[in-house]
A and B are shown apart, each in its own frame.
Chain A
Amino acid sequence: QSALTQPASVSGSPGQSITISCTGTSSDVGTYNRVSWYQQHPDKAPKLMIYEVTKRPSGVSNRFSGSKSGNTASLTISGLQTEDEADYYCCSYVDNNAWVFGGGTKLTVL
């Protein structure tokens, strides 16, 4: 159950688009379309933003989108807004009944 790999930080200006990558292995991201993304503001509980690689829960802005290629999943945020500044975590189901999170990415909106 090794953690998925995410960049420690990304940044962008309001209105721009950014992409956060999440690299796993053939035991998790590469095999299962069970990748989800979470947004966490300081001292708040995580919030589900994307599930099953590309799906958005009701109420989540369509500025958030997900994709996957091989062992790497990605979260793209378009039209950056100041309230998007937060930590973002990817998560995947893993062989043998487990989940693994990425180390998290701090998004700064300049």
Chain B
Amino acid sequence: EVQLVESGGGLVQPGGSLRLSCAASGFSFSGSHLNWVRQAPGKGLEWVAYIGAGGNTWYADSVQGRFAISRDNAENSLSLQMNGLRREDTALYYCASDRDWAFNSWGQGTLVTVSS
């Protein structure tokens, strides 16, 4: 069974940093493309970042230059380093695996709150 478990969320002040993690199991992690997708409270889904099986990365314009996605295939772990956080980054952050150009499996999310 595919499992994606996010962690690392919390309360952070504007301008601060946070690192999210996603522990994966039940599928071929090293051969999979992975993403972070977020959802602000009461709002819709927003794609944040992608990392391919080969390590290439893509970012949404809204986080380019502030967030960095990375993966550790030895640990079956996905990370998102978030710097220069803004109030509008407040959201539930999901990690999601990517196959056939779609997000086929999702975690339950970790909540990030940016507030003073």
Contacts and interface: CB of A to CB of B under 8 A. Distances in A.
Interface string B34-78: 010100000011110010000000111110000000000000000
Contacts of B47: 91, 98-101
Interface in A41-63: 45-48, 51-52, 55, 57
Interface string B88-101: 00000010000011
Instruction: Bin chain B's interface residue count.
Output: 20 to 34
Interface residues of A, number: 26
A98 B106 contact: no
Contact of B103 (A1, A38, A98): A38
A93 B101 CA distance: 7
A45 B45 contact: no
A36 B103 contact: yes
Q: Chain B CB within 10 Å — which of A1, A38, A99, A104 has the most?
A: A99
B108 A34 contact: no
Interface of A: 1, 3, 32, 34, 36, 38, 40, 45-48, 51-52, 55, 57, 89, 91, 93, 97-104
Given A34-B102, A36-B103, A48-B104, 13 more contacts: A1-B60, A32-B101, A36-B102, A46-B37, A46-B106, A51-B102, A51-B104, A52-B102, A55-B100, A91-B47, A93-B101, A98-B59, A98-B60
